[in-house]
Structure 1
Amino acid sequence: MAAAAAVGEMAEAAARLRRLMAAEPSTRLESVRALTGLFRQAQPREMAEESLFRDLLEILMRASNEIEQACKDFSELLDLDTCLVLIAECFRCLRNACVQCAKNQHVMRNLGLIATSVHLIKLLDGMPVKEEPLLIAFRCSLQFLGNIAAGNGDSQNSIWKCAFPDLFLTCLTYSDEKIVAYCCMVLFTCLNSEKVKELLDPGNLSVALHVIKVYKEQLESEWSVTFLELIMAKVSEKNTFTNEEMNVFLRHADFLAGCFQEKCKTVLKLTSAADAEDEEALVTIRLLDILCEMTSNNGQLKYLQTLPDLLETAIDTLRLTHLAGKQTVNIFTTTHSMTWQEEVSHPAVGFKAHLIRLIGNLCYKNKENQDKVYELDGIPLILDNCSIDDNNPFLNQWAVYTIRNLTEQNERNQELIAQMEEKGLADNSALESMGLQVEKQDEKLILRSARKKPS
């Protein structure tokens, strides 16, 4: 009985909307609202006819014309709220009709509802008044795009063609948090391997960086890690940067570094097994990976070396995680007992090693940064990490690399390490693994390469 009633209600609501197409917007609103409620059920969705969606398309197109006219003549804004409420309800209706219904998705796309929706969103963005009815219509339009794209490659391609990158940039920089979140939803629904390549084109990278900015400011975006993965994939490519690409990354290098500096302490949440998937911490880990890769490129390294706060943050974070690992047994504790499966299962595996790698990169042939590590008492900290650690693959190798960069043509740093070795504060075997040895010459301790004989 319920199914038969739904069929009857559906036919009646569609017919009523058809009869009222020439009526005032407030009169059509109730008919659309009834359809919105019906489309919460699967059977009415499946039985909806193309003519119904043509009527909804016509309403939206009329609304677009009214808004365009209102933008030209401010006096026409008197009845705008009613128009906006009707737009929002049409999008709710279309949104509900798309749920798990590929038939309706295809019909709507073929009618041109995606292009009409994108055009209408642009008009809404251009409205001089940003009040609640407009925001609701804006949000519902993006929800519709998200639903028509869900599981439908043709619709995803159509949205991408109409909306990328301009509409996404518009929505990602909007002042309303829900609009930003729904925009992220649409963007991620549309992404595939080919679109990722387009996304990471130098001219479009700002879209990805805006999502990171959303994360930084709102701390609600579940898509930040994925975007960082995309950027990581790009910066990890060797010898593929054009001058234009290099300039793009340099323009945003300090932003990425700033994100890392602001959120770096969130990794300490990972000392608790319950927080192993904390998103802030995961984003911080990926930011560190990106900074390590960027500082492995000479062009980007020279710029990042000029950011003294980045080096200080890396040392402070290394100190905090190293201390946390000594206070209790957690992911930052040095261990030799993990299996390979356990090693790769935790997101913070390798975090301390990457911090040391970043420090080493920032000190490469840079006397000012070498001295800063000395002043921040970072050398003993790095020497204390010259060990094998299953939680940090290649930790010892990165420590070796960093100590070499810290001591290259820097007598004060060499002397400090030599004094530490004499006092038993530095492990001589660790120094030997670095190819270094301490010698006493004229009552002065000298750190030399073990492969070279003193002159």
Structure 2
Amino acid sequence: MILLDICMEFVDDECKKQKQISTIKNIEPDDCINLYDCQLCPLPEEFVKFINQLFHHQIREYFNKSNFDSNSEDLIVFSKISSFLLKIIAFKSYENILKKNDDYFKNLLDILSCFHSMSNDPKSIFFTQDLRSTNNNNKCFAENESVFGFKRNIIGLIANYLHENMQAQEQLRISGRFIALLDSAKIDRNNPFILQWTIFAIRNALKNNPANQQFIENLQKQGEIFDDKIFNDKIKFI
């Protein structure tokens, strides 16, 4: 945990030195900042590769469990690592490590599917409710430190995988996980800016992909789009 904090501070400090992003004071997943085409390589590739492999191998085993403990230190560690990976995934120098592995992308989609299946269960620590809903005005929403920002980070990683990646775009649709992504377009107290990250992911999934665009159009015709306003106001078919 301490090592990851140090690494993230180091990445921030190095980024501040770069002229192309000199106006950015701090790079945080909350800001939905993506530095595509950035050539910066502030950390050794082997270290990044190790952290990425550790995350995917361990989290796969964790999500195979039948129950989840809200006080689990594992969840806090996973959330911290996902935040670290989201911070550096946009760097061009790490592209082959973080964005070129189909198994890792499938892993992220499986995690998203788990979130989706548990998000409507009030007893689940991954339970989420859209704070925009009028039905929630009189309810109290408690922030959960162990999962705070976790789902947002996963969707942020998925969004980066989908960026100009036709294979990932196709995998999202064929795997049946597109619905889970669409259902994540909510305002969730435990996941600040998750709506923005989800919109960005959907945009990347639709760009230059007629099959995915047709998939969304079919859902719209069937009345199965969870928030049709997103496609009218936020996302245009490209």
Aligned mate of 1:296, from 90, 112, 118? 90
- How far did residue 248 of structure 1 move? 4.5
The structure carrying a bigger helix percent of its residues is 1
> Following superposition of structure 1 onto structure 2, how do residues 207-226 of structure 1 map, counting pairs within 5 Å?
225-226=1-2
Q: Distance in 1 between matches of 2:117 and 2:140?
A: 20
* 2:176 alignment partner in structure 1: 377
Q: Distance in 1 between matches of 2:116 and 2:155?
A: 11
- 416 and 390 in structure 1: CA distance in 2 versus 1, 3 angstrom threshold: same
Is 1:231 matched with 2:7?
yes
Identity of aligned residues (%): 23
Conserved 8 A contact 1:360-1:405 = yes
Residue equivalent to 2:234: 434
Using a 3 Å threshold, how does the CA distance of structure 1 residues 346 and 420 change in structure 2: closer, same or farther?
same
Find the aligned partners of 1:361 and 1:325 in 2 and give their Cα distance.
23
Q: Specify whether residues 398 and 247 from structure 1 end up closer, same or farther in structure 2 by C-alpha distance, changes over 3 A only.
A: closer
Q: Offset of 1:293 from its aligned partner?
A: 0.9
Q: Does the aligned pair in 1 maintain the 2:70–2:125 contact within 8 Å?
A: no
1:354 corresponds to which of 116, 138, 153: 153
- Alpha-carbon displacement from aligned partner over 1:25-65 (angstroms, at most 9, x marks no partner): xxxxxxxxxxxxxxxxxxxxxxxxxxxxxxxxxxxxxxxxx
2:56 to 226, 247, 261: 261
SS in 2 for 1:327: coil
Change (3 A) 1:399 1:298: same
Within a 5 Å distance, the mapping from 1:196-345 to structure 2 comes to 225-237=1-13, 238=15, 240=17, 246=41, 248-265=43-60, 266=62, 275-335=69-129, 336=131, 337-338=139-140, 342-343=142-143
What is the one-letter code of the residue matched to 1:230? Answer: I
Q: 2: CA distance between counterparts of 1:240 and 1:259?
A: 30
Which one has more relative contact order, counting CA pairs under 8 Å at least 6 apart?
A: 2
- On the 8 A contact 2:108/2:158 being kept in 1, the answer is yes
RMSD of aligned Cα (Å): 2.8
8 Å Cα contact 1:294-1:300 kept in structure 2 = yes
Counterpart secondary structure, 2:189: coil
How many residues align? The count is 208
- 1:409 aligned counterpart, secondary structure: coil
Q: CA deviation at 1:338?
A: 4.5
1:415 and 2:191 matched? no
Structure 1: which amino acid aligns with 2:162? C
Offset of residue 420 of structure 1: 1.1
CA drift of 1:236 comes to 4.0
What is the alpha-carbon distance in structure 1 between the residues aligned to residue 16 and residue 44 of structure 2?
Answer: 14
Q: In structure 2, do the counterparts of structure 1 residues 307 and 253 end up closer, same or farther at CA, with 3 Å as the change threshold? A: farther
> What's the counterpart of residue 29 of structure 2?
none
CA distance in 1, matches of 2:151, 2:217: 24
2:185 corresponds to: 386
User: Once the 2 structures are TM-superposed, how far is the Cα of residue 249 of structure 1 from its aligned partner?
Assistant: 3.2
1:288 positional shift: 0.8
Q: Distance in 1 between matches of 2:51 and 2:91?
A: 16
Which residue of the partner structure matches residue 43 of structure 1?
A: none
> CA offset at residue 394 of structure 1?
1.1
Offset of 1:239 from its aligned partner? Answer: 5.2
Query: For 2:111 and 2:118, how far apart are their aligned partners in 1?
Result: 10
- Bigger Cα Rg: 1
Within a 5 Å distance, the mapping from 1:16-27 to structure 2 comes to none
CA contact (8 A) 2:184 2:198 kept: yes
- Counterpart CA distance in 2 for 1:383 and 1:411 is 17
- In 2, the alpha carbon distance for the partners of 1:310 and 1:382 equals 17
What is the CA deviation profile of residues 134-193 of structure 1, one whole-angstrom value per residue up to 9, with x for unaligned ones? xxxxxxxxxxxxxxxxxxxxxxxxxxxxxxxxxxxxxxxxxxxxxxxxxxxxxxxxxxxx
CA distance in 1, matches of 2:86, 2:198: 14
Give the Cα separation in 2 of the matches to 1:268 and 1:331. Answer: 16
Q: Is the 8 A contact 2:203 2:235 kept in 1?
A: no
For residue 334 of structure 1, give the secondary structure of its aligned residue in structure 2.
coil
User: 1:311·1:359 contact (CA, 8 Å) conserved in 2?
Assistant: yes
- Residue 348 to residue 306, structure 1, CA distance change in 2 (3 Å): same
Q: Unpaired runs of 5+ in structure 1?
A: 1-224, 437-447, 450-455
Deviations, residues 209-260 of structure 1 (Å, cap 9, x unaligned): xxxxxxxxxxxxxxxx22222223223442558xxx8284322333222111
In structure 1, the residue corresponding to 2:126 is in which secondary structure? coil
Partners of 1:310 and 1:249 lie apart in 2 by 20
Q: For 2:122 and 2:191, how far apart are their aligned partners in 1?
A: 17
